[in-house]
Every structure is written in C-alpha cells, then in structure tokens.
Amino acid sequence: MLVAARNKKLVKEYKHPLWLQITGWMVVAAMSWMGYLTIAKWISA
C-alpha cells in the first residue's frame, strides 16, 4: 500500500503526505523486527 500510494498511475493527482509515508515505513520496520524476534524465539525453543 505504501508503494502504491506513490504510484502516479494508480493515484493520479492524490499527494500522499511525506509524514504519513515515513510513519508507515516505521511501522513496517517495527512489525518486521517483532516478527523476526517471534520466529527466532520459536526456533530456539
């Protein structure tokens, strides 16, 4: 969704705010890290 929100062919004239894009990528990074920790915990158990 974050990548699609920047695609001019898909969103035409819509301008996705930079702060929303940055916040979205921070959430992606946090969720990826938490997923990694969960999987690492399951493997080591």
pLDDT, one tens digit per residue, over 1-35 is 899 988 889 898 988 899 999 999 999 999 999 99
The answer, yes or no, to whether residue 45 has pLDDT greater than 80, is no
Please tell me the predicted confidence (pLDDT) of residue 33. Answer: 98
Alpha carbons within 13 A on the beta-carbon side of 33:
6
Query: For the whole model, what pTM was predicted?
Result: 0.77
Please tell me the predicted confidence (pLDDT) of residue 35. Answer: 98
> Rounded to whole angstroms, how far apart are CA atoms 6 and 2?
7
